[in-house]
Amino acid sequence: MRSDDAATHMQRDNEWGVSLRLESYARQLARWPDSGRVILAQHDDESVVVYQAFRPEIGLFAAEHGYFGGPFSLSRMSWIKTNFLWMMYRSGWGAKPGQEVTLAVRIPKAAFDQILSIAVHSSFDPARYADEVEWRELGRRAQVRLQWDPDHDPHGRPVPRRAIQLGLRGEVLQNYAKKWILDIQDISKLVSDQAMRLYSGKELILPREEPYLVSNPAVAQHLGLES
């Protein structure tokens, strides 16, 4: 870690109480692809960060205990997002009812790659499935559903780039909820602070994200990622 990175990390912990790498939105926007299907995520050689937003009794339990339990349901599909701003769009910067607590969940890179490798698209794509009958049957049995949606800027305006979200259920959800978790952080303070900065026109400081490169060409092609 460079000395300037170390200083940023220390300030980050003191101000928001999170261990995510942070950077200004403007600097990140200059690096991000303008369009296409791209998995934007905070990741390293060992792990990937995904986001979820819950009502307090679920989110606070997870942050305190380090796993999903209590009122969290393993019988319903649970959606994860790698893109912080996409999570903010869906949760209204943590203001929507039932999405007040934002969690950053760090899972092993191998687990994330496994999730991607078995994902079935939420809508039929003739380039990737023989016919709708096959697609529907795969979707019925799928433990991971994949959805590409328009990404959004901090103000909630859609942009040409597409953002990914992944729905987990069955054994995959059970593994995610307890076995795969490396760290869970309640980042609601960061979310609320950046929402105030957004509304007051100040510079946003967000989790630093880069395009996630899927190493398996067949999986990347199936997902429809931009090369």
pLDDT at 9: 40
Mean pLDDT of 179-191: 97
Residue 132, amino acid:
E
Give the SS3 label for residue 48: strand
How far does the chain reach from its first CA to its final CA, in angstroms? 29
Per-chain mean pLDDT for the chain: 92
- Per-residue pLDDT, averaged over 164-193, amounts to 97
Nearest partner of 51 among 81, 22, 73, 79, judged by Cα:
81
d(CA 64, CA 184): 8
Q: In DSSP terms, which residues pair with 186 in a beta bridge? A: 103
CA angle 37, 91, 122 (to 5 degrees): 40
Verdict on whether the full-model pTM lies above 0.85: yes
Rounded to an integer, what is the distance from CA 163 to the centroid of its chain?
9
Q: What is the pLDDT of residues 6-28, one digit of tens each?
A: 334 434 454 888 899 999 999 99
Q: How buried is residue 86: exposed, middle or buried, by Cβ count under 10 Å (0-12/13-18/19+)?
A: buried
Distances (CA, A) of 92 to 80, 89, 138, 212: 16, 5, 33, 25
